A and B are shown apart, each in its own frame.
Chain A
Amino acid sequence: MNEERLRADLVLEYPFTRTTGPVIGAFMTGLREGIIIGIRRADGTVVVPPLEYDPTSADPLTELVTVGQAGVVESWTWVDPPREQSPWQQPHGLALIHLDGADTPLLHGVLVNSADAMSTGMRVVAKFRAEREGHISDIEGFVPEESVQ
Protein backbone atom coordinates (compact mmCIF):
# COMPACT_ATOMS: atom_id res chain seq x y z
CA MET A 1 0.00 0.00 0.00
CA ASN A 2 1.19 3.41 -0.93
CA GLU A 3 1.46 5.33 2.37
CA GLU A 4 2.43 8.68 0.93
CA ARG A 5 0.36 11.62 2.12
CA LEU A 6 -2.96 11.88 0.35
CA ARG A 7 -3.82 15.40 -0.66
CA ALA A 8 -5.78 17.23 -3.31
CA ASP A 9 -6.44 20.79 -4.31
CA LEU A 10 -9.92 21.83 -3.32
CA VAL A 11 -10.87 24.84 -5.39
CA LEU A 12 -13.95 26.85 -4.53
CA GLU A 13 -14.64 29.20 -7.35
CA TYR A 14 -17.66 31.24 -8.33
CA PRO A 15 -18.11 34.26 -10.61
CA PHE A 16 -20.25 36.22 -8.16
CA THR A 17 -22.19 39.13 -9.64
CA ARG A 18 -23.34 41.78 -7.21
CA THR A 19 -26.10 44.26 -7.85
CA THR A 20 -25.03 47.65 -6.58
CA GLY A 21 -28.10 49.72 -5.87
CA PRO A 22 -28.05 53.42 -6.79
CA VAL A 23 -25.25 54.75 -4.59
CA ILE A 24 -22.56 52.13 -5.12
CA GLY A 25 -23.71 52.03 -8.74
CA ALA A 26 -23.11 55.76 -9.10
CA PHE A 27 -19.57 55.39 -7.78
CA MET A 28 -18.92 52.54 -10.22
CA THR A 29 -20.49 54.55 -13.07
CA GLY A 30 -18.21 57.43 -12.15
CA LEU A 31 -15.13 55.22 -12.28
CA ARG A 32 -16.16 54.01 -15.72
CA GLU A 33 -16.47 57.64 -16.79
CA GLY A 34 -13.11 58.45 -15.20
CA ILE A 35 -14.27 60.38 -12.15
CA ILE A 36 -14.36 59.63 -8.42
CA ILE A 37 -17.60 60.18 -6.54
CA GLY A 38 -18.31 60.56 -2.85
CA ILE A 39 -21.41 61.32 -0.81
CA ARG A 40 -22.13 64.12 1.62
CA ARG A 41 -23.10 63.50 5.23
CA ALA A 42 -25.45 65.73 7.19
CA ASP A 43 -22.47 67.54 8.74
CA GLY A 44 -21.15 68.44 5.29
CA THR A 45 -18.24 66.00 5.29
CA VAL A 46 -17.76 63.77 2.25
CA VAL A 47 -17.45 59.99 2.37
CA VAL A 48 -15.44 58.25 -0.37
CA PRO A 49 -16.28 55.67 -1.58
CA PRO A 50 -19.91 56.60 -0.97
CA LEU A 51 -22.15 54.73 1.47
CA GLU A 52 -25.93 54.50 1.17
CA TYR A 53 -26.19 55.36 4.85
CA ASP A 54 -24.44 57.41 7.46
CA PRO A 55 -22.01 55.06 9.21
CA THR A 56 -22.96 56.45 12.60
CA SER A 57 -26.68 57.24 12.46
CA ALA A 58 -27.69 54.77 9.65
CA ASP A 59 -29.76 57.57 8.07
CA PRO A 60 -29.81 57.50 4.27
CA LEU A 61 -27.28 59.64 2.39
CA THR A 62 -28.33 61.11 -0.93
CA GLU A 63 -26.08 63.88 -2.17
CA LEU A 64 -23.39 62.44 -4.41
CA VAL A 65 -20.49 64.75 -5.23
CA THR A 66 -17.42 64.51 -7.37
CA VAL A 67 -14.11 64.64 -5.49
CA GLY A 68 -10.51 65.07 -6.60
CA GLN A 69 -8.48 62.33 -8.19
CA ALA A 70 -5.38 63.14 -6.21
CA GLY A 71 -4.74 63.03 -2.53
CA VAL A 72 -2.43 62.29 0.35
CA VAL A 73 -1.29 58.90 1.64
CA GLU A 74 -2.39 58.57 5.28
CA SER A 75 -0.85 55.18 5.85
CA TRP A 76 0.67 52.47 3.70
CA THR A 77 2.20 49.04 3.54
CA TRP A 78 4.09 47.10 0.93
CA VAL A 79 2.65 43.95 -0.64
CA ASP A 80 5.26 41.51 -1.88
CA PRO A 81 4.50 39.04 -3.30
CA PRO A 82 1.18 40.33 -4.65
CA ARG A 83 -1.84 38.39 -3.50
CA GLU A 84 -3.06 35.81 -5.98
CA GLN A 85 -6.58 37.19 -6.44
CA SER A 86 -5.74 40.89 -6.37
CA PRO A 87 -5.74 43.07 -9.50
CA TRP A 88 -1.97 43.53 -9.13
CA GLN A 89 0.61 41.19 -10.60
CA GLN A 90 3.62 43.11 -9.27
CA PRO A 91 4.73 44.03 -5.76
CA HIS A 92 2.94 47.26 -4.90
CA GLY A 93 2.01 49.65 -2.17
CA LEU A 94 -1.35 49.46 -0.45
CA ALA A 95 -2.47 52.74 1.06
CA LEU A 96 -5.20 54.68 2.78
CA ILE A 97 -5.56 57.71 0.53
CA HIS A 98 -7.25 60.92 1.59
CA LEU A 99 -8.51 62.38 -1.68
CA ASP A 100 -8.84 66.11 -2.19
CA GLY A 101 -12.39 67.08 -1.28
CA ALA A 102 -12.97 63.90 0.73
CA ASP A 103 -13.04 63.50 4.49
CA THR A 104 -12.48 59.76 4.72
CA PRO A 105 -9.74 57.53 3.31
CA LEU A 106 -10.00 55.28 0.28
CA LEU A 107 -8.07 52.01 0.26
CA HIS A 108 -6.23 51.26 -2.98
CA GLY A 109 -2.92 50.23 -4.50
CA VAL A 110 0.05 52.49 -5.15
CA LEU A 111 2.12 51.71 -8.23
CA VAL A 112 5.77 52.33 -7.43
CA ASN A 113 8.82 50.15 -7.79
CA SER A 114 9.73 49.63 -4.17
CA ALA A 115 8.73 50.34 -0.61
CA ASP A 116 11.44 53.00 -0.58
CA ALA A 117 9.24 55.10 -2.85
CA MET A 118 6.38 55.01 -0.33
CA SER A 119 5.89 57.51 2.45
CA THR A 120 3.09 58.86 4.57
CA GLY A 121 2.11 62.31 3.34
CA MET A 122 3.12 61.65 -0.27
CA ARG A 123 0.71 62.97 -2.85
CA VAL A 124 -0.68 60.43 -5.30
CA VAL A 125 -3.10 60.57 -8.19
CA ALA A 126 -5.42 57.95 -9.61
CA LYS A 127 -4.28 56.17 -12.76
CA PHE A 128 -7.35 54.95 -14.62
CA ARG A 129 -7.29 51.96 -16.93
CA ALA A 130 -7.98 52.58 -20.60
CA GLU A 131 -10.70 49.91 -20.65
CA ARG A 132 -13.22 50.50 -17.87
CA GLU A 133 -16.41 48.71 -16.89
CA GLY A 134 -17.46 50.25 -13.60
CA HIS A 135 -15.39 48.40 -11.01
CA ILE A 136 -13.10 49.41 -8.14
CA SER A 137 -10.19 48.13 -10.23
CA ASP A 138 -11.01 50.59 -13.05
CA ILE A 139 -8.44 52.56 -11.11
CA GLU A 140 -5.31 50.61 -11.94
CA GLY A 141 -3.73 52.18 -8.90
CA PHE A 142 -2.42 55.48 -7.62
CA VAL A 143 0.91 56.91 -8.74
CA PRO A 144 3.07 59.68 -7.21
CA GLU A 145 1.67 63.01 -8.32
CA GLU A 146 5.07 64.41 -9.38
CA SER A 147 5.50 61.50 -11.81
CA VAL A 148 2.61 62.74 -13.95
CA GLN A 149 3.37 66.44 -13.82
Chain B
Amino acid sequence: MSKNNCAVVGVGQTKYQTTRGDVSMAGLVREAAYRALEDAEMSWSDIDAVVIGKAPDFFEGVMMPEIYLAEALGCAGKPILRVHTAGSVGGSTALVATSLIQAGIHERVLTLGFEKQSESNATWALSLPQPFSVSINAGAGGYFSPIIRQYMIESAAPELIGCMVAFKDRQHALRNPYAHLHQHDLTFDQVVEAPMLWEPIRYSETCPSSDGACAMVLGSESVGDASSKPVAWVQGTSMRSEANTFPGRNEVNPRASRECADDVFSQAGITDRRREIDVVEMYVPFSWYEPMWLESLGFAEIGEGWKMVEEGATHIDGGDLPVNCSGGVLSTNPIGASGMIRFAEAALQVRQMAGEHQVDGVQRSLGHAYGGGAQYFAMWILGDTKP
Protein backbone atom coordinates (compact mmCIF):
# COMPACT_ATOMS: atom_id res chain seq x y z
CA MET B 1 0.00 0.00 0.00
CA SER B 2 1.58 3.25 -1.03
CA LYS B 3 0.29 6.75 -1.25
CA ASN B 4 -0.42 8.01 -4.76
CA ASN B 5 0.88 11.38 -5.79
CA CYS B 6 -1.52 14.27 -6.13
CA ALA B 7 -1.12 17.50 -8.06
CA VAL B 8 -3.01 20.76 -8.23
CA VAL B 9 -3.69 21.12 -11.95
CA GLY B 10 -6.26 23.92 -11.92
CA VAL B 11 -7.23 26.91 -9.80
CA GLY B 12 -10.26 29.16 -10.17
CA GLN B 13 -11.44 32.10 -8.11
CA THR B 14 -14.29 34.53 -8.28
CA LYS B 15 -13.89 38.23 -7.81
CA TYR B 16 -14.41 38.71 -4.08
CA GLN B 17 -16.57 41.55 -2.89
CA THR B 18 -19.04 42.49 -0.17
CA THR B 19 -22.03 41.50 -2.26
CA ARG B 20 -21.89 39.55 -5.48
CA GLY B 21 -25.26 40.94 -6.45
CA ASP B 22 -24.94 39.72 -10.02
CA VAL B 23 -25.05 36.00 -9.31
CA SER B 24 -27.09 33.35 -7.55
CA MET B 25 -25.42 30.97 -5.12
CA ALA B 26 -25.04 28.47 -7.95
CA GLY B 27 -23.72 31.21 -10.24
CA LEU B 28 -21.07 32.06 -7.67
CA VAL B 29 -19.74 28.53 -7.26
CA ARG B 30 -19.94 27.86 -10.98
CA GLU B 31 -17.79 30.88 -11.73
CA ALA B 32 -14.95 29.53 -9.58
CA ALA B 33 -15.45 25.94 -10.73
CA TYR B 34 -15.50 26.95 -14.38
CA ARG B 35 -12.26 28.90 -14.06
CA ALA B 36 -10.57 25.97 -12.30
CA LEU B 37 -11.71 23.61 -15.05
CA GLU B 38 -10.52 26.02 -17.72
CA ASP B 39 -7.13 26.32 -16.02
CA ALA B 40 -6.95 22.53 -15.88
CA GLU B 41 -8.06 22.32 -19.54
CA MET B 42 -10.95 20.07 -18.55
CA SER B 43 -14.71 20.07 -18.76
CA TRP B 44 -17.37 19.00 -16.27
CA SER B 45 -17.46 15.47 -17.66
CA ASP B 46 -13.75 14.94 -16.89
CA ILE B 47 -14.37 15.26 -13.16
CA ASP B 48 -14.83 12.07 -11.11
CA ALA B 49 -16.04 13.62 -7.86
CA VAL B 50 -16.62 16.93 -6.11
CA VAL B 51 -15.65 17.87 -2.55
CA ILE B 52 -17.25 21.09 -1.39
CA GLY B 53 -16.81 23.00 1.85
CA LYS B 54 -18.32 25.98 3.54
CA ALA B 55 -18.72 27.33 7.05
CA PRO B 56 -22.00 27.34 9.03
CA ASP B 57 -25.10 26.88 6.91
CA PHE B 58 -26.81 29.64 8.88
CA PHE B 59 -24.76 32.15 6.84
CA GLU B 60 -27.01 31.53 3.84
CA GLY B 61 -29.92 29.91 5.67
CA VAL B 62 -29.69 26.88 3.40
CA MET B 63 -29.25 23.56 5.19
CA MET B 64 -26.60 21.48 3.43
CA PRO B 65 -26.58 23.66 0.28
CA GLU B 66 -24.52 21.12 -1.65
CA ILE B 67 -27.76 19.19 -2.05
CA TYR B 68 -29.26 22.02 -4.08
CA LEU B 69 -25.90 22.74 -5.79
CA ALA B 70 -25.24 19.15 -6.93
CA GLU B 71 -26.07 19.59 -10.61
CA ALA B 72 -24.74 23.16 -10.74
CA LEU B 73 -21.35 21.49 -10.17
CA GLY B 74 -21.95 18.78 -12.73
CA CYS B 75 -22.46 16.14 -10.05
CA ALA B 76 -25.58 14.36 -11.29
CA GLY B 77 -24.66 10.69 -11.15
CA LYS B 78 -21.37 11.38 -9.38
CA PRO B 79 -20.14 11.47 -5.78
CA ILE B 80 -20.16 14.72 -3.84
CA LEU B 81 -18.85 15.23 -0.30
CA ARG B 82 -19.50 18.24 1.93
CA VAL B 83 -16.95 19.19 4.57
CA HIS B 84 -17.42 21.58 7.50
CA THR B 85 -14.63 22.18 10.00
CA ALA B 86 -15.38 25.80 10.95
CA GLY B 87 -12.93 28.42 9.61
CA SER B 88 -10.40 25.82 8.54
CA VAL B 89 -13.00 24.25 6.27
CA GLY B 90 -11.52 25.48 2.99
CA GLY B 91 -8.26 23.80 3.89
CA SER B 92 -9.74 20.57 5.18
CA THR B 93 -12.00 20.36 2.13
CA ALA B 94 -8.94 20.44 -0.13
CA LEU B 95 -7.33 17.78 2.05
CA VAL B 96 -10.33 15.47 1.77
CA ALA B 97 -10.16 15.91 -2.00
CA THR B 98 -6.42 15.19 -1.89
CA SER B 99 -7.00 11.98 0.03
CA LEU B 100 -9.39 10.75 -2.68
CA ILE B 101 -6.50 11.03 -5.15
CA GLN B 102 -3.85 9.72 -2.74
CA ALA B 103 -5.97 6.66 -1.97
CA GLY B 104 -6.21 5.94 -5.69
CA ILE B 105 -9.98 6.21 -5.72
CA HIS B 106 -10.26 9.01 -8.26
CA GLU B 107 -8.13 10.56 -11.01
CA ARG B 108 -9.62 14.06 -11.13
CA VAL B 109 -11.42 15.76 -8.26
CA LEU B 110 -12.97 19.22 -8.23
CA THR B 111 -12.82 20.85 -4.82
CA LEU B 112 -14.47 24.09 -3.92
CA GLY B 113 -15.15 26.38 -0.98
CA PHE B 114 -17.63 29.22 -0.95
CA GLU B 115 -19.56 31.66 1.16
CA LYS B 116 -22.25 34.12 0.18
CA GLN B 117 -22.13 36.08 3.37
CA SER B 118 -24.14 38.96 1.96
CA GLU B 119 -27.27 36.82 2.27
CA SER B 120 -27.15 37.33 6.02
CA ASN B 121 -24.84 38.79 8.64
CA ALA B 122 -21.82 36.97 9.99
CA THR B 123 -22.11 38.36 13.49
CA TRP B 124 -25.71 37.15 13.65
CA ALA B 125 -24.85 33.71 12.35
CA LEU B 126 -21.90 33.33 14.72
CA SER B 127 -23.72 34.59 17.83
CA LEU B 128 -27.04 32.74 17.76
CA PRO B 129 -28.83 33.25 21.08
CA GLN B 130 -28.91 30.47 23.67
CA PRO B 131 -31.62 30.74 26.32
CA PHE B 132 -30.64 30.87 30.01
CA SER B 133 -27.15 32.02 29.17
CA VAL B 134 -25.46 35.37 28.99
CA SER B 135 -25.01 36.62 25.46
CA ILE B 136 -22.12 39.06 25.24
CA ASN B 137 -19.89 37.57 22.58
CA ALA B 138 -19.83 39.79 19.51
CA GLY B 139 -18.65 37.25 16.94
CA ALA B 140 -15.13 36.19 16.13
CA GLY B 141 -13.43 39.48 17.07
CA GLY B 142 -14.82 39.29 20.59
CA TYR B 143 -13.55 35.74 20.84
CA PHE B 144 -9.99 36.28 19.59
CA SER B 145 -9.30 39.66 21.16
CA PRO B 146 -8.49 38.27 24.67
CA ILE B 147 -6.14 35.73 23.09
CA ILE B 148 -4.30 38.42 21.11
CA ARG B 149 -4.06 40.55 24.24
CA GLN B 150 -2.22 37.73 26.00
CA TYR B 151 0.18 37.31 23.09
CA MET B 152 0.97 41.01 23.11
CA ILE B 153 1.90 40.85 26.78
CA GLU B 154 3.75 37.52 26.64
CA SER B 155 5.85 38.54 23.64
CA ALA B 156 6.30 42.17 24.67
CA ALA B 157 5.76 43.01 21.01
CA PRO B 158 5.67 46.67 19.96
CA GLU B 159 2.11 47.94 19.89
CA LEU B 160 1.95 48.62 16.15
CA ILE B 161 3.01 45.17 14.90
CA GLY B 162 -0.60 44.34 14.12
CA CYS B 163 -0.94 47.54 12.10
CA MET B 164 2.17 46.65 10.14
CA VAL B 165 0.69 43.29 9.19
CA ALA B 166 -2.61 44.87 8.21
CA PHE B 167 -0.91 47.52 6.09
CA LYS B 168 1.31 44.94 4.42
CA ASP B 169 -1.59 42.65 3.52
CA ARG B 170 -3.63 45.53 2.11
CA GLN B 171 -0.60 46.52 0.00
CA HIS B 172 -0.26 42.95 -1.21
CA ALA B 173 -3.96 42.89 -2.09
CA LEU B 174 -3.43 45.70 -4.60
CA ARG B 175 -1.49 43.21 -6.72
CA ASN B 176 -4.29 40.63 -6.64
CA PRO B 177 -7.20 41.43 -8.96
CA TYR B 178 -9.49 38.99 -7.12
CA ALA B 179 -8.95 40.52 -3.66
CA HIS B 180 -11.93 42.14 -1.99
CA LEU B 181 -10.21 45.18 -0.49
CA HIS B 182 -8.29 47.40 -2.88
CA GLN B 183 -7.42 50.39 -0.71
CA HIS B 184 -5.13 52.27 -3.08
CA ASP B 185 -4.77 55.38 -0.96
CA LEU B 186 -4.47 53.68 2.42
CA THR B 187 -1.63 54.98 4.56
CA PHE B 188 -0.01 53.35 7.56
CA ASP B 189 -1.22 56.24 9.71
CA GLN B 190 -4.79 55.54 8.68
CA VAL B 191 -4.38 51.93 9.78
CA VAL B 192 -3.04 53.08 13.13
CA GLU B 193 -5.70 55.74 13.60
CA ALA B 194 -8.62 53.44 12.80
CA PRO B 195 -11.02 52.99 15.72
CA MET B 196 -10.62 50.13 18.15
CA LEU B 197 -13.42 47.66 17.51
CA TRP B 198 -12.55 44.78 19.77
CA GLU B 199 -9.66 46.38 21.65
CA PRO B 200 -6.80 45.60 21.18
CA ILE B 201 -8.06 44.92 17.65
CA ARG B 202 -8.58 47.97 15.46
CA TYR B 203 -11.17 48.02 12.70
CA SER B 204 -8.29 48.20 10.22
CA GLU B 205 -6.83 45.00 11.66
CA THR B 206 -9.90 42.89 10.96
CA CYS B 207 -11.03 41.00 7.89
CA PRO B 208 -13.87 42.08 5.64
CA SER B 209 -17.02 40.03 5.06
CA SER B 210 -16.97 38.77 1.48
CA ASP B 211 -18.93 36.83 -1.08
CA GLY B 212 -16.84 34.46 -3.09
CA ALA B 213 -15.78 31.00 -4.13
CA CYS B 214 -12.48 29.31 -4.79
CA ALA B 215 -12.00 26.02 -6.61
CA MET B 216 -9.19 23.67 -7.50
CA VAL B 217 -8.88 20.65 -9.75
CA LEU B 218 -6.69 17.98 -8.22
CA GLY B 219 -5.27 15.19 -10.30
CA SER B 220 -3.40 11.94 -9.92
CA GLU B 221 0.25 11.55 -10.89
CA SER B 222 -0.63 10.70 -14.49
CA VAL B 223 -3.00 13.65 -14.72
CA GLY B 224 -0.31 15.94 -13.31
CA ASP B 225 2.30 14.56 -15.69
CA ALA B 226 -0.01 15.12 -18.65
CA SER B 227 -0.72 18.76 -17.80
CA SER B 228 0.49 21.30 -20.32
CA LYS B 229 0.97 23.84 -17.54
CA PRO B 230 3.10 23.74 -14.41
CA VAL B 231 1.42 21.83 -11.59
CA ALA B 232 1.91 21.92 -7.82
CA TRP B 233 2.69 18.56 -6.23
CA VAL B 234 1.37 17.81 -2.78
CA GLN B 235 4.37 17.09 -0.55
CA GLY B 236 2.59 16.97 2.78
CA THR B 237 -0.89 17.30 4.28
CA SER B 238 -2.04 17.43 7.88
CA MET B 239 -5.12 18.11 10.00
CA ARG B 240 -5.38 18.43 13.77
CA SER B 241 -8.15 19.34 16.17
CA GLU B 242 -8.26 19.95 19.90
CA ALA B 243 -11.01 20.69 22.42
CA ASN B 244 -11.85 24.30 23.14
CA THR B 245 -11.94 24.82 26.89
CA PHE B 246 -9.75 22.78 29.18
CA PRO B 247 -7.36 23.54 32.01
CA GLY B 248 -4.05 24.98 30.94
CA ARG B 249 -4.94 25.20 27.27
CA ASN B 250 -2.41 27.26 25.36
CA GLU B 251 -4.83 29.40 23.38
CA VAL B 252 -2.10 31.64 21.99
CA ASN B 253 -0.08 28.81 20.53
CA PRO B 254 -2.31 25.75 20.53
CA ARG B 255 -0.68 22.36 20.65
CA ALA B 256 -2.88 21.21 17.74
CA SER B 257 -1.30 23.92 15.61
CA ARG B 258 2.25 22.96 16.53
CA GLU B 259 1.66 19.25 16.04
CA CYS B 260 -0.07 19.84 12.72
CA ALA B 261 2.94 21.89 11.58
CA ASP B 262 5.44 19.30 12.82
CA ASP B 263 3.56 16.63 10.90
CA VAL B 264 3.32 18.50 7.60
CA PHE B 265 6.94 19.68 7.61
CA SER B 266 8.15 16.22 8.48
CA GLN B 267 6.19 14.70 5.57
CA ALA B 268 7.80 17.19 3.20
CA GLY B 269 11.24 16.41 4.63
CA ILE B 270 11.75 20.00 5.72
CA THR B 271 14.10 20.70 8.61
CA ASP B 272 14.91 24.40 8.23
CA ARG B 273 11.43 25.77 7.85
CA ARG B 274 12.20 29.40 7.20
CA ARG B 275 14.84 28.63 4.62
CA GLU B 276 13.14 25.76 2.82
CA ILE B 277 9.71 27.33 2.44
CA ASP B 278 9.59 30.13 -0.12
CA VAL B 279 6.16 31.60 0.48
CA VAL B 280 3.32 31.14 2.95
CA GLU B 281 -0.41 31.66 2.63
CA MET B 282 -1.52 31.81 6.24
CA TYR B 283 -4.98 32.19 7.75
CA VAL B 284 -4.79 35.62 9.41
CA PRO B 285 -8.27 37.05 10.04
CA PHE B 286 -6.92 39.45 12.66
CA SER B 287 -3.54 41.01 12.00
CA TRP B 288 -1.83 39.83 15.16
CA TYR B 289 -2.29 36.23 14.09
CA GLU B 290 0.58 36.60 11.62
CA PRO B 291 3.31 36.82 14.28
CA MET B 292 1.43 34.28 16.41
CA TRP B 293 1.31 31.70 13.61
CA LEU B 294 4.88 32.45 12.52
CA GLU B 295 5.91 31.21 15.96
CA SER B 296 3.50 28.33 16.11
CA LEU B 297 4.55 27.14 12.63
CA GLY B 298 8.16 27.22 13.70
CA PHE B 299 9.32 30.01 11.39
CA ALA B 300 10.33 32.03 14.46
CA GLU B 301 11.22 31.28 18.05
CA ILE B 302 8.47 31.61 20.64
CA GLY B 303 7.92 35.29 21.40
CA GLU B 304 9.84 36.45 18.35
CA GLY B 305 7.41 36.18 15.48
CA TRP B 306 6.78 39.91 15.64
CA LYS B 307 10.42 40.57 14.84
CA MET B 308 9.96 39.02 11.42
CA VAL B 309 7.07 41.39 10.84
CA GLU B 310 9.10 44.34 12.03
CA GLU B 311 12.04 43.40 9.81
CA GLY B 312 9.79 43.10 6.77
CA ALA B 313 10.62 39.41 6.42
CA THR B 314 7.02 38.66 5.46
CA HIS B 315 6.65 41.44 2.87
CA ILE B 316 6.56 40.44 -0.78
CA ASP B 317 9.17 43.07 -1.55
CA GLY B 318 12.45 41.97 -0.04
CA GLY B 319 11.12 39.58 2.57
CA ASP B 320 12.77 36.18 2.84
CA LEU B 321 9.45 34.55 3.81
CA PRO B 322 6.65 36.46 2.10
CA VAL B 323 3.34 35.83 3.84
CA ASN B 324 -0.06 36.33 2.20
CA CYS B 325 1.07 37.84 -1.08
CA SER B 326 -2.56 37.58 -2.18
CA GLY B 327 -3.60 40.02 0.52
CA GLY B 328 -4.72 37.22 2.77
CA VAL B 329 -7.88 36.88 4.83
CA LEU B 330 -7.38 40.49 5.96
CA SER B 331 -8.20 41.57 2.41
CA THR B 332 -10.70 38.87 1.42
CA ASN B 333 -12.87 36.74 3.67
CA PRO B 334 -15.64 34.57 2.25
CA ILE B 335 -15.31 32.36 5.36
CA GLY B 336 -16.02 28.96 3.83
CA ALA B 337 -13.62 29.70 0.97
CA SER B 338 -10.93 31.53 2.95
CA GLY B 339 -8.98 28.39 3.79
CA MET B 340 -9.18 27.12 0.25
CA ILE B 341 -7.93 30.46 -1.07
CA ARG B 342 -4.83 29.99 1.11
CA PHE B 343 -4.30 26.50 -0.31
CA ALA B 344 -5.00 27.64 -3.89
CA GLU B 345 -2.72 30.68 -3.66
CA ALA B 346 0.03 28.41 -2.35
CA ALA B 347 -0.51 26.33 -5.50
CA LEU B 348 -0.43 29.36 -7.82
CA GLN B 349 2.89 30.43 -6.30
CA VAL B 350 4.48 27.04 -6.94
CA ARG B 351 3.03 27.03 -10.46
CA GLN B 352 4.50 30.53 -11.01
CA MET B 353 1.00 31.63 -11.97
CA ALA B 354 0.22 34.18 -9.25
CA GLY B 355 0.56 37.14 -11.59
CA GLU B 356 1.57 40.44 -10.04
CA HIS B 357 1.85 38.94 -6.59
CA GLN B 358 4.09 36.09 -7.75
CA VAL B 359 7.25 35.62 -5.69
CA ASP B 360 10.26 34.82 -7.84
CA GLY B 361 11.51 31.27 -7.94
CA VAL B 362 9.07 29.62 -5.57
CA GLN B 363 9.79 25.94 -5.21
CA ARG B 364 7.86 25.18 -2.07
CA SER B 365 4.90 26.84 -0.41
CA LEU B 366 2.78 26.35 2.68
CA GLY B 367 -1.02 26.71 2.74
CA HIS B 368 -2.51 27.10 6.21
CA ALA B 369 -6.00 27.42 7.68
CA TYR B 370 -7.49 27.36 11.15
CA GLY B 371 -10.94 27.50 12.65
CA GLY B 372 -13.19 27.28 15.69
CA GLY B 373 -11.60 28.74 18.81
CA ALA B 374 -8.18 28.21 17.15
CA GLN B 375 -8.90 24.49 17.48
CA TYR B 376 -9.03 23.17 13.93
CA PHE B 377 -5.94 23.20 11.72
CA ALA B 378 -5.37 22.19 8.13
CA MET B 379 -2.09 22.58 6.27
CA TRP B 380 -0.43 21.48 3.10
CA ILE B 381 2.97 21.88 1.55
CA LEU B 382 3.25 22.06 -2.21
CA GLY B 383 6.32 21.79 -4.37
CA ASP B 384 7.31 22.03 -7.99
CA THR B 385 8.65 18.48 -7.85
CA LYS B 386 7.07 15.21 -6.81
CA PRO B 387 7.67 14.23 -3.19
Are chains A and B touching directly in their complex (CB below 8 angstroms)?
yes
Q: Are B119 and A58 in contact (CB under 8 A)?
A: no
B58 surroundings in chain A (CB, below 8 A) = 12, 14
Picked from A9, A12, A59, the residue with its CB within 8 Å of the CB of B128 is A12
B124 surroundings in chain A (CB, below 8 A) = 14
Indicate the size class of the contact surface on chain B: 20 to 34
Interface membership of A52, Cβ < 8 A? yes
Picked from A6, A23, A56, A57, the residue with its CB within 8 Å of the CB of B132 is A6
Contacts A57-B74, A58-B73 given: A19-B61 contact, CB under 8 Å?
no
Q: Are A58 and B20 in contact (CB under 8 A)?
A: no
Cα separation A17 to B19 with both chains bound (whole Å): 11
Interface membership of B118, Cβ < 8 A? yes
A55 surroundings in chain B (CB, below 8 A) = 71, 76
Q: Are A53 and B120 in contact (CB under 8 A)?
A: no
Picked from B19, B30, B60, B120, the residue with its CB within 8 Å of the CB of A52 is B30
Interface membership of B21, Cβ < 8 A? yes
Picked from A6, A14, A19, A59, the residue with its CB within 8 Å of the CB of B21 is A19
A9 surroundings in chain B (CB, below 8 A) = 131
Cα separation A14 to B293 with both chains bound (whole Å): 35
Closest to A16 in B: B61
CB distance from A100 to the nearest CB of B (A): 25
Closest to A54 in B: B71
B22 surroundings in chain A (CB, below 8 A) = 19, 21-22
Q: Are A14 and B130 in contact (CB under 8 A)?
A: no
Cα separation A53 to B23 with both chains bound (whole Å): 13
Interface membership of B25, Cβ < 8 A? yes
Q: Per-position contact with B for A62-97: 1 when CB-CB < 8 Å, else 0?
A: 000000000000000000000000000000000000
Interface membership of A10, Cβ < 8 A? yes
Contacts A52-B27, A58-B44 given: A16-B72 contact, CB under 8 Å?
no
Residues 41-55 of B at the A interface (beta carbon under 8 Å): 44-45
Cα separation A122 to B19 with both chains bound (whole Å): 43
Closest to B124 in A: A14
Closest to B131 in A: A8
Q: Per-position contact with B for A3-32: 1 when CB-CB < 8 Å, else 0?
A: 000101110101011111111100000000
Residues 11-69 of B at the A interface (beta carbon under 8 Å): 19-27, 30, 44-45, 58, 60-61
B23 surroundings in chain A (CB, below 8 A) = 19, 21
A59 surroundings in chain B (CB, below 8 A) = 44
Q: Are A19 and B71 in contact (CB under 8 A)?
A: no
Q: Are B132 and A19 in contact (CB under 8 A)?
A: no
Q: Per-position contact with B for A26-57: 1 when CB-CB < 8 Å, else 0?
A: 00000000000000000000000001111111
| A9, A18, A51: most-surrounded residue (chain B CB, <10 A) | A18
CB distance from A93 to the nearest CB of B (A): 24
Cα separation A52 to B76 with both chains bound (whole Å): 15
Interface membership of B129, Cβ < 8 A? yes
A21 surroundings in chain B (CB, below 8 A) = 22-24, 26-27
Closest to B73 in A: A58
Cβ-closest 9 pairs across A and B: A58-B74, A8-B131, A21-B24, A21-B27, A55-B71, A58-B44, A21-B23, A16-B61, A19-B21
Given contacts A10-B131, A52-B30, A56-B71, 14 further A-B contacts (CB under 8 A): A16-B60, A16-B61, A18-B25, A18-B119, A19-B22, A19-B23, A19-B118, A22-B22, A24-B24, A51-B71, A52-B24, A53-B30, A56-B76, A59-B44
